[in-house]
Structure 1
Amino acid sequence: MQLDWLKPLVDLEGPFACATLDASNIDPTSRSHRLASWGSARRDLERSGADDATLDALDAALMGDANGVGERTHVACASNGSLLLDIGIEGRPRREGASFGPVPRLMDVVRGLDGKETYAVVKLDREGADIEVIDPTGALVSATDVTGDHDELRKVAAGGASQRRFQARAEDSWKRNATQVAAELDRLVRRIRPGVVFLEGEDHMTSYLVEQAPGALADRIVRLDTGGRAAGTSEAAEVTARDRELARLRAERDARLIERFGDATGAGSAVEGWDAVQAAIAKAQVAHVLLHPDVWERPDSAATRDGGSNHDEDALLWALAPVGAELSLVAQPFEAKDGIGAILRWNDASTPQA
């Protein structure tokens, strides 16, 4: 994960008050749960020394309109009376809670977003397509309706040469409409750069579109067999199919990253273990940090921090942001001391060997 979203906070003066709430919007009891959770978190922050202006900034963010429907996580962070971060993420939080201190507790955001990416959904039929772009939080970025201007859409059983002529005209219209959809998608890919373009619809129409897709678009297309624009298409089946493909793509990403870490280790361009990684971060050597599931899947890292350990994921995140390094929560186990490794931009004689 790129940490550009965190850079604007790094130069700000703390302390920082952050809260993570279950903001699921499922039934009439959802809001009362959110109110109770925030009430408890606010009292914790007050006892920790957070000022009223900062708490009021969090209150305005966390108690506003529900951030989406379904299972949601809401993370907000404020300092000195100003709201600094306000983000809703798909899925329930691993834990709810609040923190107040010199480093904002934002690993909950990373846990919610790591492995996710912006993607497009294209529901295609003979007339055109409905195109939606979804960002990593699950929010709708854009929605476009592309309707082709070629309307000879149906094959007609007229018989003889007439039938062949009508069929050819219909197929030509379908191809031209698919070409228009491909052109719009190409513009969208260049502008928004979604990581995946999910293509749903009739086989011949999706084939026409793939044939017309320029390279940057073609490389992102994943075809699904979930119906597209057709009436009665199961939304649940569509979501399941997309989630399955996103999980597969994440697994492929993790496998490539683990292999890259192994190659870098062999070449002396990687370090492992908390002390070595932190030393490399301090020298701005780090290009990419990998965290093992045993580290980032712990149900609560507070006990580790309170116990005096320097294995503090939030502090790690805070240190990585200004050096422009990436962070990945790898879902597959890999060999690394303390469950943490880093691929380096450069190394020298002072760099400890992994």
Structure 2
Amino acid sequence: MISSTKIDTDVLREFHRTPGPVDSVYFNLETLPQQEENATLRWHKLTDRLARQGADAASLTALTDRVLPALPGSGALAAFAVRGDVPLVVEMPDFHHEDMAVHGPLPHLLPLLEWQQEHPAHVLAIVDRIGADLEVYPTGATKATARRTVTGPDDEIRGNGAQLRFQHRAEDSWDHNAAEVADAIGETLSQHSARLLLLAGDVRARQFLMKHLPEWVRREVTIRSVSGSRSHDGAVQERMAQVEAETRRAGQEETAALLRLLAEERSPGGRAVEGVHATLDALARGRLRTLAVTDDPQDRRTAWSGPAPTDVSDRRGVLQPNGGAVVRGRLADVAVRAALLTGAEVRALPTDTPHAPKQGIGGVCRFA
């Protein structure tokens, strides 16, 4: 069983290859100890809902055994059951989503994807004039999964304002050390496909660092500042609160950038598609680069999905798969499956998103 706050796209693609039906639940864990009885009642309402939708008893028992011990907790828990097994559980701290239970041929991943995009992959670098501490946070992670300490080659870091020669020597050391840190940051960002860099620590060291960052980092990576230093100064909690705010902000900016791109590409001959039929057709042709779909719990629209990644349509008669079953699932779930399995990115949009695609679904194609 996978149980993590870090679920990458490869894991979700593999999960989609597991034959359904799938029971998908999102459960709010935030409750006071004296309210656990109410939380248990909420949970049983969810399992009753799943049972009425056709979930089997073994899956309901397996979900209960996994969810209830997590009370009380922070944020929400996403859990997915398949024929009595719970192959995927994701803890989502500080995520607020209404309790939800969905039984269907495909997993319901939109709330999980929304959580992920609010926590883009990033690197936190806490620097001083000697070196830096680097922390790596993959997509969806709220805790560092890798740490690295970088120490520069020069140890003469203290200047003497009264003797200009010593001051210049110290600044040369700071510069050499900053170059070492900059190389390590570029390597770490590239290795983990992160496009957000958060910098904390000594102001002067950060100034030296900025001029040594690789050109591609300065061009492609969003760089933000947070407070704190490498010393144990008691500012860790404040810094992590700032990190949370900055990652959420970066996720929102990525969504805004996609909506701007959609608007630009809506012109004749552009790469944008929107609406159910046009978007599913682009997925069926493997043309879609990024899928944008509204996360609306009340959306009951359906579409058809076959065994191959591109077996997708809003009409059953169009699909003629070579073996394997054709299933009817929620429109959003069918589209997300096709997007993930054809290598497209997925962007979940809140229901009140301004300038969202028509009919709540659309995207940008790889070519016009």
> Alignment partner for residue 105 of structure 2, among 102, 106, 120?
102
Partners of 1:59 and 1:337 lie apart in 2 by 38
Q: How much identity, in percent, do the aligned residues show? A: 25
Per the alignment, residue 238 of structure 2 pairs with 236
1:314 corresponds to: 333
Partner of residue 41 from structure 1, selected from 29, 46, 56: 46
Tell me the residue number matched to 1:301.
298
2:343 aligns to what?
324
Letter in 2 for 1:239: A
Distance in 1 (alpha carbons) for counterparts of 2:198 and 2:122:
7
- CA change 1:112–1:32 in 2 (3 A) is farther
Do the aligned residues in 1 keep the contact of 2:291 with 2:345 (CA within 8 Å)?
yes
Deviation at 1:202, TM superposition (A): 2.3
Q: Write the deviation string for residues 128-176 of structure 1: whole angstroms up to 9, x where unpaired.
A: 222211233223221223344533232245x4xxx22332332233223
- Whole-Å Cα distance in 1 between the matches of residues 153 and 35 of structure 2? 46
Structure 2 distance, partners of 1:249, 1:108, is: 14
- 2:339 maps to amino acid: L
Please say if residues 18 and 98 of structure 1, whose CA atoms lie closer than 8 Å, have aligned partners that are also in contact: yes
- 1:22 is matched with which residue? 28
Q: 1:147 to 1:120 in 2, by over 3 A?
A: same
CA distance in 1, matches of 2:301, 2:190: 44
Indicate the SS of the match to 1:266.
coil
- How far residue 256 of structure 1 moved from its aligned partner, in angstroms, is 5.1
Question: Could you tell me how far apart the structure 1 residues matched to 2:286 and 2:51 are?
Answer: 36
How far residue 49 of structure 1 moved from its aligned partner, in angstroms, is 3.6
**Structure-2-length-normalised TM-score:** 0.75
**Could you tell me which residue of structure 1 aligns to residue 154 of structure 2?**
150
Give, in angstroms, the shift of residue 47 of structure 1: 4.1
TM-aligned CA deviation for residue 196 of structure 1: 0.9
Secondary structure of the corresponding residue to residue 140 of structure 1: coil
| Residue of structure 1 in register with 2:273 after alignment | 271
- Which consecutive residues of structure 1, in runs of 5 or more, have no partner in the other structure? 348-354
Distance 1:108 1:252 in 2: 17
Alpha-carbon contact 2:197-2:222 (below 8 Å) kept: yes
State the alpha-carbon separation in 1 of the partners of residues 222 and 257 from structure 2: 21
Q: 1:260 to 1:105 in 2, by over 3 A?
A: closer
Letter in 2 for 1:155: G
CA contact 2:136–2:146 (8 Å) conserved in 1:
yes
Q: Give, in angstroms, the shift of residue 19 of structure 1.
A: 1.1
How many residues are matched?
Answer: 331
Question: How do 1:127-146 and structure 2 match up within 5 A?
Answer: 127-137=130-140, 138-146=142-150
Root mean square deviation of aligned Cα: 3.5
Partner in structure 1 of residue 15 of structure 2: 9
Instruction: Answer whether contact 2:226 2:239 (CA < 8 A) is retained.
Output: no
> Displacement of 1:125 after TM fit?
1.5
Gaps of 5+ in 2: 1-7, 303-328
2: distance between equivalents of 1:100 and 1:330? 22
Answer yes or no: is the 8 Å Cα contact 1:199–1:221 preserved in 2. no
* 1:8, distance to aligned residue in structure 2 (A): 1.5
Return the offset for 1:55.
3.0
Question: Distance in 1 between the 2:242 and 2:337 partners?
Answer: 35
Amino acid at match of 2:363: A
The whole-number CA distance in structure 1 between the counterparts of 2:64 and 2:218 is 45
1:175-190 to 2 correspondence within 5 Å? Answer: 175-190=175-190
Query: What corresponds to 1:337 in structure 2?
Result: 358
Shift of 1:253: 5.4
Q: One-letter code of the match for 1:50? A: A
Of the three residues 254, 261, 264, the one matched with 1:262 is: 264
Shift of 1:96: 0.9
Question: Distance between the aligned counterparts of 2:173 and 2:35, measured in 1?
Answer: 49
Q: Is contact 1:91–1:112 with CA below 8 Å preserved after alignment?
A: no
Residues of 1 paired with 2:155 and 2:35: CA distance?
48
What's the CA shift for 1:268? 5.2
Residue equivalent to 1:195: 195
Q: Does the 8 A contact of 2:138 with 2:192 survive in 1?
A: no
* Code of the aligned partner of 1:329: A
Note the C-alpha offset of 1:260.
4.7
- Range 173-182 or range 244-253, more displaced: 244-253
Partner of 1:172: 172
1:3 CA displacement: 5.2
